[in-house]
Structure 1
Amino acid sequence: MCSLSPLASPPKTQAQLLAQAQQLAGYSLGELATLAGLPIPRDLKRDKGWIGVLLEIWLGASAGSKPEQDFAALGVELKTIPVDSRGRPLETTFVCVAPLTGNSGVSWETSHVRHKLKRVLWVPVEGERAIPLAERRVGTPLLWTPNDEEDRQLRMDWEELMDLIVLGQVERITARHGEVLQLRPKAANSRALTEAIGAHGEPILTLPRGFYLKKNFTAALLARHFLLAGN
């Protein structure tokens, strides 16, 4: 363990980033947190982004809370993904906040969703609640670019959801819309409202929404790359 140390500055190449992520595979979150001097919360209820912060420290991410990719110079987004003992995702994956106004002329090619997903470093992490947070281990990383079929699936869902937003139907969108991409409320509390377009084109206030990848999409992605059994 002594040879392992967090990156002090952002990696200069995608190969360097992947190599550093590969070095973390097999370590527990507790080991990595202790080496990085990061306090370990008891659970993730109030520290939902803690695992991401920990891995950003180890991988030298630079974006922080900025809307750009985590490794902007490399064009790579970091996504941790909690998995079960068979390597299947335990929850949906947040992509980005959805724009609810000012969407005239937007296209999939220039969308924030596509920008965030064009190159992703996936880092699976044990996520079953029976395993104490500090004992959960980091899995083998994957540097991923959507193939033509994945891009088509994402585009179709994005276009359908954006059409509903532009047409003033945001309040009618549920998590069941979309085959692989969903839109659902993302807010710390019900008082955090944002502007959107109503059914008659009028301005309304509603909860902020976020784009999320459904588990079926990330499960297939992981299964294809890691040849997991049973998928």
Structure 2
Amino acid sequence: MTTPSRPRRNPWLNGRPRTTAPERHLYCFPHSGGLPGEYVRWEQHLSGTQVYGVCLPGRGSRTAEPALTDMDAVVHALLAETRFAAPYDLFGHSLGALVAYETTRELAARGLPLPERLIVSAFPAPHLPRQGARLSGLPDEELIAVLNERYGGIPPQIAADPDLLAVLLPAFRADFALLENYRYREAGPLPVPLVVLGGEADSITPDQLDAWHRHSTAPVRRHAFAGGHFYFRDDLAAVAAVLAP
């Protein structure tokens, strides 16, 4: 008698095992250089929801894999291995908002089941022009200075460990290159409700967030929270109340 083989784990999805079936699923696309574990922990604030963190190649448990710096390549590779379990929402923070949006566009183009909500956080509407220097090619010291300025700094225990830095910095470089290489292609609005989140003290302006209205034929809601770019680290409970169905 042969022993049934276990289903292959999807390397794109990080989540906690459950003993009961969830009522819904939330798939979270991290910010630049972010790891999925931060978002998986949100599950304790979202009753009945299975939370998955999306892990791109080149970071976390996938550091041995080549990073992807082209948006089409990311989305096509993700969908080649992933079927989102309904009912589900997609959430993306910062760069993750753009990846979640492009993933939803590709799902629509393929006629696949769409999320019940697309939740985008701390990122301007994708059609808006972007300005700023290219960061992906900066020397390590300059890149670390940018991270300290824009992302609240690298934790001291990582900054003091060259081996950890050697793992962290390539992920940031790849994500910055992913954004730098991105070119918005005009498309019709999605038939998906949009939830737009942002921090009141973030550099992303209310006008940049309101511009997301262009990308949905369904209702669009915007919520502002106290705090900066990582507002959810200050009051996750308030954010969870919006994420809950």
TM > 0.5 between the two? no
So what's the TM-score if we normalise by structure 1?
Answer: 0.28
So what's the TM-score if we normalise by structure 2?
Answer: 0.27
Instruction: Report which of the two has the higher share of helix.
Output: 2
